Amino acid sequence: MSTRLEPGGERPAIRFDRVGQVFTSSDGSRVTALDEVSFTLRRHEFVAVIGPSGCGKSTLLRIIAGLVKPTHGQAEIYGLPVAGPREEVGIVFQQPTLLPWLRVRDNVTFPMKHKHGRVSATEKARAEELLEMVGLRDFAHKRPDELSGGMQQRVGIARALLHDPDILLMDEPFSALDALTRDEMSFELLRIWAERPKTVLFITHSIPEALLLADRILVMSARPGRVREIIDVGLARPRSMKTLSEPRFHDLANQIRAQVFRPEALA
Amino acid sequence: MRRTLLSALDRGAPLIAALLLLLIWEAACRLLTVPSYLLPTPSAIVQSAFQVPLSSWLDHTWATLRVSLQGYALAVLIGIPLAVALANSRLLSRALYPQLVIIQSTPIVAVAPIIVVVLGAGDAPRVVITFLITFFPIVVSTVTGLLATPPAMMELSRSLGAGRLRAVRDIQLPFAVPYIFSALRISVTLAIIGAVVAEFVAAENGLGFFIAFSTSFFKVPQAFAALVVLVSLSLALFQLVALTQRLLFPWSLPKTEP
Ligand SMILES: Nc1ncnc2c1ncn2[C@@H]1O[C@H](COP(=O)(O)OP(=O)(O)O)[C@@H](O)[C@H]1O
Ligand SMILES: [Mg+2]
């Protein structure tokens, strides 16, 4: 669709400059989903976005993905305004969104098949590699309904990684999973990210999840969605179960909790 | 031992019940001496079936089948693309949906004579009548199926920049397959009804025509025999559609079925 940009040296991977999004619903009423949102993501930085539901997190992600054009301000990827969907962006959704009639390996290569009508041998080999990486090598020939929720979400991650995107957008990817699977998936994501560095924007409403994963956390306020604070996590990497018991982890968790629940009037 | 007997009974139950019903029917007609022009006995129906030459049966059956299948094919070929258009264009669905509902609300039986007058003799009016009866469920069910595609799936397609037609072909239509087939199963039996209705109005052959013709000469057992053929035809077509789905789209079947 678009030519792939060479990631510029000093240019931020993603930049929002006073981005606003006003939706007009069918009955004419207007909803301000985002208001004056500004931030930048450095290349290969892992940033979590946290905020109450309905505060515009998914809208923010859609704007970066080029699926929604903001009504105000400007969103940029590597210094260029986002004009539509771009090659260097991969998306993982809250639901696995797999095609039930395709085998796992064909679900992973689906983006290529869908876009170009065919899948090259290289891409097929890459799909097997990715399935190996997410621990699903033995499930490549299964259909999605034969997999657990966590496994399905791994397939979704492998699919998003197929074209080796430089930017990975994840919209509450683990929120449909049980707590144990969730922790496991978080560590797995960190391992993948360490293996193949990427700029990650990770939406969540779990404070521990955000702290465990991210370099920085963007805390958003409820309607209209604004950036309330950007927190430097500063916990040592690689992170592990031990990270969860560090004093700084708890301090930050409390600090964020206070931010999220701070009444609007005092903001 | 007892279990195998029970399970055999369980599997044979529909057949046993049907045979029992036929026996009761036969016995009741004989005991109450019901005249055969009101309700013939099953044995009389079978007997009368053999009095009609086989070539005649084949002729009428083929006439009905031909019209049904043509009307059905037309409904599928027009209904599914129309559904795709309706599901993907708000403007089009706003413009056309009311007309579709009007067509569906019109009693086709009442319109049939008009269609015959307009389209004249031959298969054409009968095919059109069959089409009108079968087409609506196909459109409605297909639209429902297309719109049941998870929105995130369509968003994935858009994020890949794959284009609308590809999204329809690779995502929307496969997601709609279970809905489309449930409509195709219902519509194939409606197609037989459509053809018969058309034959009641104007025809010189077909099973519907044969029933109308037989009853007007008080050959009621013969009419019943034709009815049996019609029901068998309907069931066979229904099963054929179900089989097609099982063979071509096994993943689209409900999980409980083997
Ligand atoms: N396409 C749309 N049309 C109208 N309103 C929308 C649309 N998308 C989102 N919204 C509204 O914008 C607000 C933010 O939505 P969203 O970004 O999905 O929030 P979050 O992901 O944080 O839960 C909500 O009030 C939602 O109802
Ligand atoms: Mg959301």
pLDDT digits (tens, 9 = 90+) for A206-226: 999 999 999 999 999 887 889
Residue of B nearest to A92 (CA): B156
* Residue A264 banded pLDDT, cuts 50, 70, 90: low
* The CATH number, out of the four listed (3.30.9.10, 1.10.3720.10, 3.40.640.10, 3.30.70.1450), of the domain defined by the range B59-249: 1.10.3720.10
User: Which DSSP string do the residues of B184-238 spell out, in sequence order?
Assistant: HHHHHHHHHHHHHHHHHHS-SSSHHHHHHHHHHTT-HHHHHHHHHHHHHHHHHHH
End-to-end CA distance of chain B: 25
For residues A109-117, average pLDDT: 93
CA B225 distance to own-chain centroid: 20
Name the residue type at position A57: K
From A127's Cα to the closest Cα of chain B, the distance in A is 17
ipTM of the complex: 0.85
Say what the pLDDT of residue A176 is. Answer: 84
For residues A40-50, average pLDDT: 96
Out of A148, A164, A180, pick the residue that ends a domain. Answer: A164
Residues A82 and A212 in one domain: yes
Out of A164, A198, A220, pick the residue that ends a domain. Answer: A164
Residues A244 and A151 in one domain: no
User: Does a structural domain hold residue A94?
Assistant: no
Please give the Cα distance from B71 to B67 (Å, whole number). Answer: 6
Residues A193 and A259 in one domain: yes
CATH of the domain at A211: 3.40.50.300
Say what the pLDDT of residue A259 is. Answer: 83
Residues A117 and A56 in one domain: no
* Domain region containing A240: 14-88+166-266
Residues A173 and A254 in one domain: yes
User: Which DSSP string do the residues of chain A spell out, in sequence order?
Assistant: --PPPPPPSSS-SEEEEEEEEEEE-TTS-EEEEEEEEEEEE-TT-EEEEE--TTSSHHHHHHHHHTSS--SEEEEEETTEE--S--TTEEEE-SS----TTS-HHHHHSHHHHHHHSS--HHHHHHHHHHHHHTT-GGGTTS-GGGS-HHHHHHHHHHHHHTT--SEEEEESTTTTS-HHHHHHHHHHHHHHHHHS--EEEEEES-HHHHHHH-SEEEEEETTTBEEEEEEE----SS--GGGGG-HHHHHHHHHHHHHHTS-GGG-
State the residue for tokens 């044969």: B210
Q: Element (H or E) spanning B125, and its range?
A: helix B123-147
Residues A34 and A150 in one domain: no
Residues A171 and A80 in one domain: yes
Residues 145-174 of B with CB under 8 A from A: 150, 152-153, 155-162, 166, 170-171, 174
Residue of B nearest to A110 (CA): B170
Residues A76 and A104 in one domain: no
Atom from ligand 1 closest to the CA of residue A52: 22
User: Does a structural domain hold residue A93?
Assistant: no
User: Does a structural domain hold residue A5?
Assistant: no
User: Does a structural domain hold residue A215?
Assistant: yes
Q: Give pLDDT tens digits along chain B (258 positions).
A: 677 888 888 888 889 999 999 999 999 999 988 888 888 999 999 999 999 999 999 999 999 999 999 999 999 999 999 999 999 998 998 898 888 888 888 888 888 889 988 998 789 999 999 999 999 999 999 999 999 999 999 999 999 988 899 999 999 999 999 999 999 999 999 999 999 999 998 888 999 999 999 999 989 999 999 999 999 999 999 999 999 999 999 989 887 644
A33 lines ligand 1 (CB under 6 A): yes
Residues A192 and A226 in one domain: yes
Facing residue for B160 by CB, picked from A93, A101, A114? A114
Question: Which tens digit of pLDDT belongs to each residue from A9-22?
Answer: 578 999 999 999 99
A109 CB-side CA count, 13 A: 21
Residues A249 and A235 in one domain: yes
Q: How far is CA A104 from CA A150, A152, A158, B171, in A?
A: 13, 9, 10, 16
Residues A58 and A182 in one domain: yes
Say what the pLDDT of residue B9 is. Answer: 81
Residues A241 and A126 in one domain: no
Q: Which token pair is A247? A: 């004093």
Do the Cβ atoms of A93 and B155 come within 8 Å?
yes
**Ligand 1, from A24, A37, A58: best to mutate by most atoms within 8 Å of Cβ?**
A58
A68 interaction partners in chain B (CB closer than 8 Å): none
Out of A124, A144, A164, pick the residue that ends a domain. Answer: A164
End-to-end CA distance of chain A: 42
pTM: 0.84
Whether A145 contacts chain B with CB within 8 A: yes
